[in-house]
Chain A
Amino acid sequence: MKRIIVCLKQAVDVSQLKVDPATRQLITAGAPRKISDFDKNALEEAVKIKEKLGGIEIFTLTVSTEDAKAVLREALAMGADKAYLVNDHALQGVDTSGTAYILAQAVKKIGEFDLILGGEASLDGFSGLVGSRLSELLLLPQITSVRKLSVEGEAVIAERALEDASETVKTKMPALVTVTREINQPRIPSLMMIMKASKKEIVTWTLADLNVQKEKITPKIEVIEALAPKMERKKIIIKGETVQEIAEKLARALIQEGIVGR
């Protein structure tokens, strides 16, 4: 095994998003961004495989804006050897199908690899489509929902968490694997690792470098609106002298709602 490519998304940090209360629109411009959590787990897993087996290169691959270089430095500090950033003004409005196509072209340009790792879904969009689309474009076996991963010779063995079962599966590399957050706890890079990372290379490609024609990345979906949901709740705070009194008032309210008892 020689090379792992980890696909990373620079995602909006959803825990810091603000909503305009008048319009219910999200204020995404200027919102803090970070490596999508699940992708960080994917990178951590790649670094663990490298530590175990040795002699492996880890490349990260991102389709984003110029400012993604900051998060790519973090990825390099965590243990990636080289980062690739696809940045082009034509990326505006690209959807998951376009992103997958660009990633596929970038992977082809990188050339050889054994494993592509990524998060199950992104923190912000949470679509979980890109990995699957990419596996089709590259004609790779795909393993999703992975919470345990190991490499044995030419094969990758993974434990998947399904709704009603846990499944252990095996496939021959090259393969594409997407991971859940249970798989590991991503490391926090030390100062030493951060300093070392500043010497590592970030390669920037444009769509022309990857021979991506505009019509190949035309969106296949249209987001009509994305608004903060309305929550219409009663918001009644139940008060009383004693906890028993409060509990009884609450119990009566629930019975009156017709949701407890018969």
Chain B
Amino acid sequence: MNGVSEHKGVWVFSEAYDLTLEMLGKGRELANTLHTELSTVLLGNNVQEKAGELIRYGADKVYVVDNPALGHFQAEPYLSVLHDLTERYRPEILLVGSTRNGKPLAARLAERLNTGCVPDCIRLSVDEGGRLIGERITYGGNAVAKIASKSKPQIATVPSRAFEKPSPKERTGQTVKLDVKIEPPKVEIVERKPLETSSVRVEEAEVIVSCGRGLEKKDDIALLEGLAEVLGGQVGCSRPLVEDRKWFSEWIGLSGHKVKPKLYIASGVSGVIQHVAGIRDSKVIVAINKDPEAPIFEIADYGVVGNLYEVLPALKEALKKLLQ
């Protein structure tokens, strides 16, 4: 590599379309600060018609590789295409969606490009020297680290819902169709079962009523559901209810779903730091706990010291009455 000056432009990529749109919002901001172009990479089979929408969401340039081999995500095909394009066009910043597939993709790309990677950035900015600064939660939620890359491209990964999806606008941009040599996959997908999506993903919920060890029986989840229904929200839980009791399949917390609803009601949740790290960006946090010393009260806007079995039904009734 011949120095860093020749790297130019901000790029975003995710195999998850919505996350791409969210990153285009942040990417636009970074590109404006750096007075440079924002580009995105569109990979897939018969995906070209989406390019126009990506431009409306903020891209100046859309690199399209349309190929049956890219029909669904597979590590080596996607990695080889991104590697080829980033070597060819040399962006200074590359944001990659931090999904279960995207995160290893970014890490492997960083290794191939002999550069750094800052994973799971919840905030991104550019400093006076033009360096990308990523902020991420670390040490189990005990700290937020500010990290810069020392080489280019500066790669960062971005979790879903970290940034707002921008509003689309009528604007012009360029679509660049490319043919690229695609590496065959090393891992074969034998079966793919979509998860049942009867409910919305918890990240999308505006209100979350969650429970922790304070909930005594599995049937009592109905109490939370009752309140969630009045609030138009969803039910969630902390990790012990998944790991120890197996009442839920997914939890909210640093190692699970990180959420930022308008309202988070934590009932019978003690507030260990790993859980708090997953709810930190909620607008309003309500804590209901029998133990007045529970750490959850330290991070709550409103606290009720009391039995969740009494407070949740009473809150539901009060809201029903007031919201009529």
Given contacts A136-B112, A223-B147, contact A141 B142 (CB under 8 A): no
**B222 is an interface residue with CB less than 8 A from chain A:** no
Tell me which of A26, A224, A260 contacts B143 (CB under 8 A): A26
Q: Does A254 lie at the interface of the complex (its beta carbon under 8 Å from any beta carbon of B)?
A: yes
A sample of 25 cross-chain residue pairs with beta-carbon separation below 8 angstroms, ordered by A number, consists of A15-B272, A96-B117, A97-B111, A126-B120, A126-B137, A132-B108, A133-B107, A133-B108, A135-B108, A140-B186, A144-B103, A157-B190, A165-B192, A165-B194, A167-B189, A168-B190, A221-B117, A222-B147, A224-B145, A224-B148, A226-B146, A244-B314, A250-B304, A255-B323, A257-B283
Q: Mark the stretch among B49-57, B163-171, B294-302 that contacts chain A.
A: B294-302
- Known contacts A26-B143, A231-B298; decide if A165 and B108 are in contact (CB<8 Å): no
Give per-residue flags for B99-142: 1 if the beta carbon is below 8 A from chain A beta carbons, else 0: 11101100110111011111110000000000001000111111
Per-residue B-contact encoding for A75-108, CB less than 8 Å = 1, 0 else: 0000000000000000000011100100000000
Contacting pair B255 A260 (CB below 8 A): no
* 19 new A-B contacts at CB < 8 Å, known A129-B107, A219-B150: A14-B142, A15-B272, A96-B107, A96-B117, A124-B138, A142-B75, A144-B103, A157-B190, A163-B160, A224-B133, A224-B145, A226-B138, A231-B280, A236-B301, A243-B311, A247-B315, A250-B318, A260-B207, A261-B323
Q: How far is the CA of A103 from the CA of B296 in the complex (A)?
A: 40
| Bound: A233/B296 CA distance, A | 11
Contact string against B for A residues 146-166, beta-carbon threshold 8 Å, 1 for contact and 0 otherwise: 000000000001001111111
Residues of B within 8 A of A234 (CB): 300-302
A140 to B21, CA, bound (A): 32
Is B115 in contact with A220, judged by CB distance below 8 angstroms?
Answer: yes
A227 CB-CB contact with B under 8 Å:
yes
Residues of B within 8 A of A54 (CB): none
Report A32 CB to chain B, min CB distance, Å.
Answer: 13
In the assembled complex, A195 has its CB within 8 A of some CB on chain B? no
B216 beta carbon closer than 8 Å to chain A: no
Q: Which residues of B contact A252 (CB under 8 A)?
A: 322
Residue on A nearest B99 in the bound complex, by CB: A163
Chain B residue total in the interface (Cβ 8 A): 84
Instruction: Report A-chain residues with C-beta under 8 Å of the C-beta of B99.
Output: 162-163
Nearest CB of chain A from residue B186's CB, rounded to whole Å = 4
Residue of B nearest to A178 (CB): B104
